[in-house]
Amino acid sequence: MIDRLAIALAQINPTVGDVPGNVRRIREARAAAAGADLVVLPELAVSGYPPEDLVLKDAFLAAVESGVRELARETGDGGPALLVGAPWKQDGARYNAAALLDGGRIAALVRKHHLPNYGVFDEARVFAPAPPPDPLEFRGVRLGLAICEDIWFPDVPRHLRDSGAELFLVPNGSPFETDKLHLRLEHAEARVAETGLPLLYVNQIGGQDELVFDGASFVLDADGTRVRQLPSWREAVEISHWRRNGNTGWHCDPAPLARPVEGLEAIYRAMMLGLADYVHKNRFAGVLIGLSGGIDSALAAAVAADALGPARVWCVMMPSPFTSRDSLEDAAEVARMCGVRLDNIDIRPAMDAYGAMLAPEFRGRAPDITEENLQSRARGVTLMALSNKFGYMVVSTGNKSEMSAGYATLYGDMCGGFAVLKDIYKTTVFALAAWRNANRPEGALGAKGPVMPPRVLTKAPTAELRPNQTDQDSLPPYAELDAILECLIEREMGPAEIVAAGHDAQTVRKVFRLLDRAEYKRRQAPPGVKVTSRAFGRDRRYPIVNGFTDAV
């Protein structure tokens, strides 16, 4: 019976569908873990997570199985064994599985029991649930393997303990949300407390469509003490050293804990990584941003410069007759401070052309929101033309407050391939901008100092589509709007509850109606980084045709 074990935690950044690339990353992680007995990879690392309906393609599953068997053969060299996640077809059913690769073969296969079917997760749609797994025998140690969701409930860990498991290995694909690190720890600590067994938790890193994974893998000793903490927001491979004590079981040697990344810094880095991976994995040359001189586009430009480097960020100022001198100056200063390219394309010729073209049909009707939207759409057409010509992806700059209230123009400012502020409320936009002006996040490729002038942080937000316009002409003050929206969206409170909590009844009714009526716009919005518990998209699925008013 062995009394020493070296287990490597390998939080890597796979790409969904890129089986050869993911196999290469796993191979590199194994090489970096030389001296370990076992390398634990994240959930579904061979396929990338979440693979969604790729799992329904037999050709894809065959490619994954081929990759797993290739890795298995390589473990015949006497180096570390591998624990790799992969979708696996067995007896006609498809499973979310993890394979133990050792001695040149697939030594064991464990299948996931609890399949999440809420929020962004729909594993029950493509995978079959397996019975609670039994422990794996590995070089004289009984390992309890619980894949991601299987650690969020007590039954699988209890079954593993009762079946003789000596420590838990938990491969994960757990997306980032604000305060998610604390939630993961709470569940892991509860399982350790219930079973008395230590736990090794490995999470993936990287962006995948709207999801972003923050890594932050960790080890809990048998008494619940966190003895290892890997960094957030970057790939890492670290070897944990374990000792068996005959009286108290397995214990992990402690090591310095990586600094936790929380709050505004975590949100900012989620935006950076989400945008960077979306651009890199989709092979765009760079990004295009309509820079207005306002805070939303300024923050989007700063995130893009930090994520991709200033040389890959192209900003365009598109003034109209209503664009103020302040906005022109502020846009130029943002571009200078971020170090990005800025071009100026006047949209007045397009406005004049549309005005002349539509004049016969509009005769006798006063200008209204139609003409305002034409300005926004002229800007959208301009950016999309540049995108088509030069291969840069348009980043839309609308925030969650605007998208909630429908304060956005279809085929105008909503144009784009990715919406970096999509899940960021306006009040958080201001907080993030102030934070970035005072801090430069680890890994940032952009400016070392502030990224926008103070006036961008202090002036009243405006779309500048008519004279003297401000957002508050149409919307409640953002502090009030965002508080009500959070009640409606993240907390699913009804209007009566929100009014009882102290908000003005008329304002609550107005915000509820705005949120309800804008669903058709949100369905047509580009994807964007998820940071809250209820991002627009798969997190929150409401019908467009909807006669329910919730007693408003």
What would the 3-class secondary structure string for 490-504 be?
CCCCCHHHHHHCCCC
Question: Catalytic pick from 123, 148, 149, 486?
Answer: 148
In what helix (H) or strand (E) does residue 418 lie, and over which residues does it extend? strand 418-419
Cα separation, 199 vs 184, whole angstroms: 12
Amino acid (one-letter) located at 62: A
Cα separation, 344 vs 68, whole angstroms: 52
Sheet arrangement for strand 249-252: 105-111, 93-102, 81-90, 38-40, 4-11, 236-245, 249-252
Cα separation, 544 vs 476, whole angstroms: 24
CB atoms within 10 A of CB 166: 20
As to burial, measured by CB atoms within 10 angstroms (0-12 exposed, 13-18 middle, 19+ buried), residue 454 is exposed
Question: Catalytic pick from 28, 65, 70, 112?
Answer: 112
Is 43 part of the annotated catalytic residue set? yes
Query: Position of tokens 């200008």?
Result: 367
8-state DSSP, 198: -
CB atoms within 10 A of CB 218: 25
Cα separation, 39 vs 24, whole angstroms: 14
User: What contacts 24+ positions apart, CB below 8 Å, involve 181-186?
Assistant: 181/214, 181/216, 181/232, 181/260, 181/262, 184/216, 185/218, 185/226
Is 415 part of the annotated catalytic residue set? no
Q: What is the DSSP string of 339-354?
A: T-EEEE---HHHHHHH
8-state DSSP, 551: T
Is 148 part of the annotated catalytic residue set? yes
For the record, the structure tokens of 450 come out as 């502030």
Residue 550 zone, left/alpha/beta (φ > 0; ψ -120 to 50; rest): left
For the record, the structure tokens of 8 come out as 């490597």
In 3D space, the residue among 226, 193, 224 whose CA is nearest the CA of residue 9 turns out to be 226
What 3-state class would DSSP assign to 97?
strand
For the record, the structure tokens of 473 come out as 């002409």
Q: What is the DSSP string of 432-498?
A: HHHHHHH---TT--S-SS-SS-HHHHHSPP---SSTT--GGGTS--HHHHHHHHHHHHTS---HHHH
Contact 335, 315 (CB under 8 A): yes
User: Please, how many CA atoms are within 13 Å of residue 165, restricted to the half-sphere of its CB?
Assistant: 27
Catalytically active residues, by annotation: 43, 112, 148
